[in-house]
Chains A and B, each alone.
Chain A
Amino acid sequence: MSEFLQQLLNGLSLGAIYALIALGYTMVYGVLRFINFAHSDVFMVGAFIGYYVGRLLPEGTLWGGLIVFIVAMLGCALLGVTIERLAYRRLRGSPTLNVLITAIGVSLLLEYSGQVFFGAAPRTFPAIIPVKNFNLGGLVISTNQLAVIVVTALLVLALQFIVYRTKMGTAMRAVSLNPKAAQLVGVNIDVVISFTFALGSALAAAGGILYALNYPSIDPLMGVMPGLKAFVAAILGGIGNIPGAALGGLVLGTVETFVNGSQWSTYKDAIAFAILIIILLFRPAGLLGKFTVEKV
């Protein structure tokens, strides 16, 4: 029983990170209808900002950890806005495929400039927040795992609040529904899209730091696998749907962990992706997505 609970906890904390990254994919898709492949590399940059800032601060203090989170999230928000401004904005209105290819280009640019600036060798991420392990009758809970779950839950709630309770959120939903009509009623599309990128990238930065806290070896290609999994999670939950992305992340992380702890660990990705295919066969729009007919 304690093994089952432990695996569940492991799975949820891994899934929570996927969820954070998935939120970024899903938000950009909701507003712009394209997949921002550079998102997983913003996640990597977040971890590296955390690494450089974290080394300047005393290790293992709560306020230090908070500063690291804030600086990395601001830095990545800025990066996300810059990427959108320089690479994607001019392509708005051109075929989706063009933007998609540009996104792949930006992704590779970030990965390989990362190798130039940060070096290709893995770095050790500092322990920026105090670490403690609690033992509850065989179930060991580390503060890092708790932090991942709590921070993710808080950020998802904050995001729900922004999207449904603020003026900017209303504007985002309006653009998502129909960009032209939104513009006609006076919504500044550029600002809304920049804001969406900033928000998504800040979440990716938080995800990057949480990931690095749990797996403290970071390198410029660290975003590739988690990014791919998060992308899958976003589709699994129903792309464009915020609670769906969170749910998709948790499902994927948990399944992956249970397979990993079994005899079939070598097939963990194969099994995780097979489950994705099966779910999509029965629910083509994802777990929480609504299937809509494209209007001509």
Chain B
Amino acid sequence: MTLASLLVRPLSLVVACALVASSSFATDEGPIKIGHYGSLTGKDAAFGVATRKGVLLAIEELNAKGGVLGRQLEYVVEDIQSKQGESATAVKKLISRQKVAVVIGANASANSLEAAPICQNAKIPMMAISSTAPKVTEIGNYIFRICFIDPFQGAVLAKFAHDSLHAKRVALLTSNNSPYSVGLSNVFRARFKALGGEIVAEQKYVEGDKDFRAQLTAIRAAKPDVIAATGFYTEAALICIQARSLGLDVPVIGGDGWEAPQLVELGGQAVEGTYYSTYFSADNNAPEVMDFVERYQKRWNNEKPEGVSALGYDAVYLIVDAMKKIGTTDGPKLRDAIAATKDFPGVTGRTTLDAHRNSEKAAVMLVVKNGRTEFFQSVTP
């Protein structure tokens, strides 16, 4: 038990009792409060602000349709300013002062890990947005997430390489000092071999490297059908440029670490025809996605929704769906209802919460075409 949770426990018991007491006669009371904490300022502000827009859109839509359980929804937000240590304070405030029924957030796993023990002790369900580290939901049974986790993504990439690109021989290129890349490569290797494929070459580099010709020359000698580069976008772009200049013209694939405008900016012609996996694509032409994109753009000045906006939007609808099923906002009952979610139709795909409270949903594969990313297909492992 950590120091923080020791300090919080007595307080949260009081809070929890108060909430249980209030929920029994809550139906005719004021609005249902939905708490959200995220970085609205600071270096991670892009994620927090985009999430907020998705969450707010969902709440406004629901309120326009008459609310939930006969009550309006109220959006309460706390800014954690991209700072370590703010999440705990923010969530304590949301739970004890605002008495929120449920907590949404955060984006970065580190922030979610801070807030999760507090929600767990107060028995308030928490729905993390884009925290992909497996540890987050292991904190307790009140902690959920709306995104997939890193091992899932590795499995998606393996299946995509095998089924859609018909690859038999794959070369792996891993960023050796990034736990994200190493984890993704490990899952990819295991799953791709299980599918009957062969890893013909494995090469490594470290973040900040610029010369990949040596690794790529070794990879070229192994004659792969596909190269999987599991690191981040800067290196991915340089890898593509150098692979093409060595006459290595096979497709290159990667994970959501590739998702940044710089990939195309830096890679130019060389990243054409490369693929990466992510949560959501605004270019997906499934009717529910097109519909969501249109409403989002109408509300937010023609801005395109980010992946996290869509996740925030889905988080609200998934929670409300659970509330409607049980007819109450009581913490423990709501937790059970959320945990039982199966095949919830959201804009980021059909979501099922598994035994570890992680979302199982299709990942989206994007392809780079004519200097921009386009939706390619959805993949479920």
Chain B 247-283 residues near chain A, CB threshold 8 A: 247, 262, 265-266, 268
* A262 contacts B265, C-beta separation under 8 Å: no
CB distance from A269 to the nearest CB of B (A): 9
Q: Are A216 and B246 neighbours in the complex by a CB distance under 8 Å?
A: no
The answer to whether B245 touches A261 (Cβ under 8 A) is no
| A262 with B266: CB separation less than 8 A | no
Q: Are B237 and A140 in contact (CB under 8 A)?
A: no
Q: B215–A215 contact, CB under 8 A?
A: no
Select B215's contact among A3, A214, A222, A265, beta carbons within 8 Å: A265
Q: Mark A4-21, 1 if CB is under 8 A from B, else 0.
A: 001100110010000000
A214 to B247: give the CA distance in the assembly, Å: 15
Check if A122 is an interface residue, CB within 8 A of chain B. yes
> Which residues of chain B are within 8 angstroms of A135 by Cβ–Cβ distance?
247
Q: Write the nearest CB–CB distance from B370 to chain A, whole angstroms.
A: 18
Q: Which residues of B from 25 to 42 have beta carbons under 8 Å from A?
A: none
**A225 touching B247 in the complex, CB below 8 Å, given contacts A260-B214, A260-B215:** no
Residues on A with C-beta less than 8 A from B214 are 7, 10-11, 256-261, 265
CB within 8 Å for A14 and B217 given contacts A124-B266, A215-B238, A265-B205: no
Are A216 and B176 closer than 8 Å at their CB atoms?
Answer: no
Q: Annotate A39-52 by CB proximity to B: 1 below 8 A, 0 otherwise.
A: 00000000000000
**CA–CA, A142 and B247, complex, Å:** 10
- Tally of A-B Cβ pairs under 8 angstroms: 70
B346 to chain A, nearest CB (A): 33
Pair B245/A144 contact, Cβ less than 8 Å: yes
Bound complex: CA A168 to CA B266 (Å): 43
Please state if A215 and B211 are interface contacts (CB–CB under 8 Å): yes
On chain B, the residues within 8 Å of A7 by CB distance are 214, 217-218
- A217 and B237 in contact, given A122-B262, A140-B245, A225-B208 (Cβ under 8 angstroms): yes
Is A266 on the interface with B (CB-CB < 8 A)? yes
Instruction: Show the binding face of B for A, using Cβ within 8 Å.
Output: 176, 203-206, 208, 210-211, 213-215, 217-218, 220-221, 234, 237-238, 241, 245-247, 262, 265-266, 268
20 interchain pairs (CB within 8 A)? A3-B221, A6-B220, A7-B217, A10-B217, A14-B211, A122-B262, A122-B266, A133-B245, A140-B246, A214-B211, A217-B210, A217-B237, A256-B214, A257-B213, A260-B215, A261-B214, A261-B218, A265-B203, A265-B205, A265-B215
Closest 5 CB pairs of A and B: A260-B214, A261-B214, A215-B210, A10-B213, A261-B218
